[in-house]
Amino acid sequence: MTISTIPPDRNTSLSSMRYDPRFQIETRSDDFDLTSGLRLIRRRMVMIVAIITLFMTIAAVMVSGLKPSFHAESRLIIHTPLATKLGPEDSGRNDPLDATSETERLLSRSIAERVIRDLRLDEWPEFNPALQETSLIDRIRAMLRGLVDREKPSSPARNSIEPIIPKYYKALRVWRDGQGDVIQIGFDASDPQLAASVPNRLISIYLEERKDGLRGRLDAAEEWVLQRIAEQKDRAAAARDAADQYQKTMDVVSNDNDQVEQIKSIMELGERQTKIEQSRTEARATISALEAADDLSLTLQNMVIPDSIGAMQRELRAQEQDLERLLETYGNTAEAVVDMRAKIVKSRTDLKLATDRYLQSIRSKLAALDHEGDVVRSALAAAHEKRARSALAQTELARLQRMAEKEQTALDKLEEQRRGLAAQAMLPGAELEVLSPAAVPLAPQGRGRLFYLVGALLASISIAVTAAFVVEMLDNSVRSFDQMAGIPRIVPAGFIPRLKRRDRGDPSMLFGYIRDGMFDEAIRSVITSLKQSNGGKLPNSIVVTSAHSGEGKSLVARSLAIDLAANGIPVLLVDGDLRHGHLDSFFRSELQQGLNEFLCGQAGIRDIIDHHPSGIDFIPAGNATLHRRARMTDAADIISMAASLGQVVIFDSAPVLASADTMHLTALAERTLVVVKWGKTSRRAAEFCLHQLRTARNTELCVAINNVNPKQHARYNFSDSELFVKSLRKYHEFT
């Protein structure tokens, strides 16, 4: 910030030095280090203290409502009975007890109900909701629930055990000690005697219920086994009767000799059938050979024939040999040859007759063999059929006998189970070894209230600091020119500190002496920056605008006008917000017409100018209903008229993003001053606003950051935070 005194002659040139953020060391607020963290905590201290106070109040209420709780524990081991392990396998069960299953058994509903009734837990308010006083939180919760659910919630019954069960399980804890078989039972209660009584009573009830339960299961199992035995006896007897009846009905041969005889008979019949087939084959061959032979003598030589036929064949052969000798000796016509030939013919005739008789006998034999073969085949088929029926009957009988044996085996197993259950009923269900019974605790468990308050304080601080960091990271508002260093063609016009509320709202204070020297110096610095950005001379026309409404542009515009008028420079302040202009409430001109009437052609320039006693000429906004017919180009006449009178025209225009009238004014004016509200205007809105205002005439835009909190800004890590350090703030304090 440059603090200077503007000379009376506004046309006197100043140095062309400018405040250019491109030549600064950029220190961004999101570059976190220890110093940045401490600065963040300092500037967010109010929020942090508020969050800590809120959480500590809640924690104090909760801690104050804590009641001392006593904890008692009992440690025990549950063994399988030794007699069970030493006995034979069929005398009882040998599987070991499962510690996990026994832990769940200790948490059963039946044991819980007995403990509650035996120790009268329903008479303790900490376990019976019906005896508890309704807290404020519960009343608020019930009221909120009633707004959503119109049904009236039912109040817990005083004699009902259902509301006590959840409280009992919440105070009870049963767990295994690591992977071993040691089971620990713990209970929390406000009374030390009660805390010790519950584990001890729970163990005794567990043994009683386990014994009763085991006895009941054994009785039920024995009854079931006896019923099964009776049914199985009937099935076994029925199976045996079926086998005996079948054997009698089917006359099944059970003697092995009879079966051997059947097989022997079948074999003999088979052999007889084979011999008959061989004889038949030989007979057929003989018949075929004799019937097809041309020369019986030659055929009979290769066959087995009767002796008579063989003698006749030999005699015929001898005669034929004699004939051959006679032919060689006497010739063909000798008497002896003729006689021999006659004998040969007779011998052949006799041989043929004997052969025919032999053939007839063979045929008779073949017929007898055929008949005998049929008889043997019938006998063999009957023997095979009898053997097959006997085999099927034997198979069915064997099946029935196996079924009878199976039913008897099942009956034997059931008898064995009955004996095992009888032996098991004589043994105890479990052996319990109490390592350490629950003793009455001498002191409550847990930490003291101070410990919880300190823990709540540390947690509140952590939550508050985290929330401060989150809020800081989500903050996207403009707080420094370092954040606008990447925007081209802007001229930082300086920081304008926040005015006190009484100074912002009292017109007399604005036109009189302001008790804030830093604000006065900031306005002078803005004027100096405007002059330096305009080649060392004060611009003839200035448009003061902003991205949104409520960013203090009207305050800056009238403050510039007041400061220039105080230094003897003629000023014409124009309320350029045609819709919502309210500068007239400060100047109280009492004019009936304003800028709207002039731009619509309903009034002249002289008619809308008010000469204020402070030396400022002021033009109000006029009738807002005429803004749609206004011609912004006529504003150039106001600038020309002011230039002819040597006045500086300051337009307090509408927000850039709200009205297009501002674009027309910035095109006519010599310089544009954009006001950005510190900690409110987002960087996105500021960049978009500046982008809209860049025109061919306005090559550079002046930017002023308004409503700066000096103390807060000094706690940031920006390079321009040094403008508001404590020493400089003290320098500007009123004395």
User: Comparing 649 with 421, which gets the higher pLDDT?
Assistant: 649
Q: What are phi and psi of 582, to 5 degrees?
A: -135, 20
Cβ atoms of residues 547 and 491 within 8 Å:
no
Cβ atoms of residues 599 and 664 within 8 Å:
no
- Give the N- to C-terminal CA distance of the chain in Å, as an integer: 22
Q: How far is CA 91 from CA 138, 215, 427, 714, in A?
A: 60, 16, 10, 91
Region of poorest pLDDT, from 14-28, 348-362, 588-602: 14-28
Q: What is the mean pLDDT of residues 187-192?
A: 90
Res 675 pLDDT > 90? yes
- Reduced to 3 states (helix: H, G, I; strand: E, B; else coil), residue 195 is helix
- Reduced to 3 states (helix: H, G, I; strand: E, B; else coil), residue 326 is helix
* CATH code of the domain occupying 482-731: 3.40.50.300
103 Cβ contact list (under 8 Å, min separation 6): 174, 175, 176, 183
501 Cβ contact list (under 8 Å, min separation 6): none
- Ranked by mean pLDDT, which of 86-95, 308-317, 419-428, 655-664 comes out on top? 655-664
- Ranked by mean pLDDT, which of 200-204, 484-488, 489-493, 683-687 comes out on top? 200-204
What per-residue string of b and e applies to 172-195 under the rule 16 or more CB within 10 Å gives b?
bebeeeeeebbbbbbbbbbebebb
User: Comparing 1 with 535, which gets the higher pLDDT?
Assistant: 535
In sequence order, the β-bridge partners of residue 491 are 702
- Reduced to 3 states (helix: H, G, I; strand: E, B; else coil), residue 490 is strand
Cβ atoms of residues 713 and 495 within 8 Å:
yes
Percent of the chain with pLDDT over 90: 10
Cβ atoms of residues 40 and 472 within 8 Å:
yes
- Residues across the chain: 735
Query: Cα 85 to chain center, whole Å?
Result: 48
Res 531 pLDDT > 70? yes
- Reduced to 3 states (helix: H, G, I; strand: E, B; else coil), residue 523 is helix
Region of poorest pLDDT, from 247-261, 541-555, 628-642: 247-261
**How confident is the model at residue 135, as a pLDDT?**
64
**How confident is the model at residue 51, as a pLDDT?**
93
Task: Give the model's confidence band at 2: pLDDT under 50 very low, under 70 low, under 90 confident, else very high.
Answer: very low
**How confident is the model at residue 395, as a pLDDT?**
83
Task: Give the model's confidence band at 552: pLDDT under 50 very low, under 70 low, under 90 confident, else very high.
Answer: confident
Res 223 pLDDT > 80? yes
Type and span of the H or E element at 259: helix 256-292
For residues 537 and 10, give the distance between their C-alpha atoms in angstroms, rounded to a whole number. Answer: 6
DSSP for residue 70: E
For residues 449 and 67, give the distance between their C-alpha atoms in angstroms, rounded to a whole number. Answer: 10
Angle at 316 (CA atoms; ends 313, 321), nearest 5 degrees: 130
Please, what is the average pLDDT of the chain?
79
Res 23 pLDDT > 60? no
**How confident is the model at residue 428, as a pLDDT?**
61
Q: What is the mean pLDDT of residues 217-241?
A: 86
In sequence order, the β-bridge partners of residue 174 are 185
**How confident is the model at residue 5, as a pLDDT?**
35
For residues 155 and 129, give the distance between their C-alpha atoms in angstroms, rounded to a whole number. Answer: 9
Instruction: With CA atoms as reference, report the closest residue to 619 among 630, 636, 605.
Output: 605
User: Comparing 729 with 536, which gets the higher pLDDT?
Assistant: 536
Instruction: With CA atoms as reference, report the closest residue to 101 among 220, 210, 221, 218.
Output: 210
Q: What is the mean pLDDT of residues 656-670?
A: 85
**How confident is the model at residue 427, as a pLDDT?**
65
The sheet carrying 70-79 orders its strands as 172-176, 182-189, 70-79, 431-436
**How confident is the model at residue 165, as a pLDDT?**
92
Q: 507's torsion region: left (phi>0), alpha (psi -120 to 50) or beta?
A: alpha
For residues 261 and 253, give the distance between their C-alpha atoms in angstroms, rounded to a whole number. Answer: 12
User: Comparing 264 with 113, which gets the higher pLDDT?
Assistant: 113
Q: What is the mean pLDDT of residues 380-393?
A: 81
The pLDDT tens digits of the residues spanning 125-154 come to 888 888 877 666 667 777 777 777 656 555
Res 84 pLDDT > 60? no
Q: How far is CA 518 from CA 18, 511, 730, 734, in A?
A: 21, 16, 10, 10
Cβ atoms of residues 717 and 472 within 8 Å:
no
**How confident is the model at residue 674, as a pLDDT?**
92
For residues 103 and 185, give the distance between their C-alpha atoms in angstroms, rounded to a whole number. Answer: 9
In which residue are the tokens 């002796």 written? 307
Query: Cα 54 to chain center, whole Å?
Result: 35
Res 251 pLDDT > 70? no
Cβ atoms of residues 96 and 80 within 8 Å:
yes
Task: Give the model's confidence band at 507: pLDDT under 50 very low, under 70 low, under 90 confident, else very high.
Answer: low
For residues 198 and 221, give the distance between their C-alpha atoms in angstroms, rounded to a whole number. Answer: 33
For residues 153 and 2, give the distance between their C-alpha atoms in angstroms, rounded to a whole number. Answer: 72
Cβ atoms of residues 652 and 583 within 8 Å:
yes
CB-facing half-sphere around the CA of 71: CA atoms within 13 A = 11
DSSP for residue 632: G
For residues 115 and 93, give the distance between their C-alpha atoms in angstroms, rounded to a whole number. Answer: 30
Cβ atoms of residues 660 and 631 within 8 Å:
no
**How confident is the model at residue 29, as a pLDDT?**
44
Res 630 pLDDT > 80? no
**How confident is the model at residue 294, as a pLDDT?**
61
For residues 18 and 625, give the distance between their C-alpha atoms in angstroms, rounded to a whole number. Answer: 42
Q: What is the mean pLDDT of residues 258-262?
A: 73
619 Cβ contact list (under 8 Å, min separation 6): 572, 573, 574, 575, 594, 595, 598, 608, 609, 610, 638
Instruction: With CA atoms as reference, report the closest residue to 677 among 568, 547, 523, 525.
Output: 547
Query: Cα 17 to chain center, whole Å?
Result: 64
Radius of gyration of the chain (CA): 66
For residues 518 and 711, give the distance between their C-alpha atoms in angstroms, rounded to a whole number. Answer: 13
**How confident is the model at residue 30, as a pLDDT?**
46
Region of poorest pLDDT, from 469-473, 622-626, 666-670: 622-626
Res 377 pLDDT > 50? yes
Extract the runs of DSSP E, i.e. beta strands, from 289-367: none
Residue 31, number of CB atoms within 10 A of its CB: 9
DSSP for residue 535: T
**How confident is the model at residue 14, as a pLDDT?**
44
User: Comparing 333 with 636, which gets the higher pLDDT?
Assistant: 636
Q: What are the boundaries of each domain within the chain?
A: 41-61+448-472, 482-731
Q: What is the mean pLDDT of residues 399-414?
A: 88
Task: Give the model's confidence band at 187: pLDDT under 50 very low, under 70 low, under 90 confident, else very high.
Answer: very high
Res 16 pLDDT > 80? no
Residue 19, number of CB atoms within 10 A of its CB: 20
For residues 363 and 373, give the distance between their C-alpha atoms in angstroms, rounded to a whole number. Answer: 15
Task: Give the model's confidence band at 575: pLDDT under 50 very low, under 70 low, under 90 confident, else very high.
Answer: confident
Residue type, 610: D
Res 509 pLDDT > 70? no
**How confident is the model at residue 137, as a pLDDT?**
67
Q: What is the mean pLDDT of residues 426-437?
A: 73
For residues 22 and 488, give the distance between their C-alpha atoms in angstroms, rounded to a whole number. Answer: 9
- Ranked by mean pLDDT, which of 148-162, 425-439, 528-542 comes out on top? 528-542
Res 481 pLDDT > 90? no
The pLDDT tens digits of the residues spanning 345-373 come to 888 888 788 888 888 888 888 888 888 88
In sequence order, the β-bridge partners of residue 672 are 543
Res 559 pLDDT > 70? yes
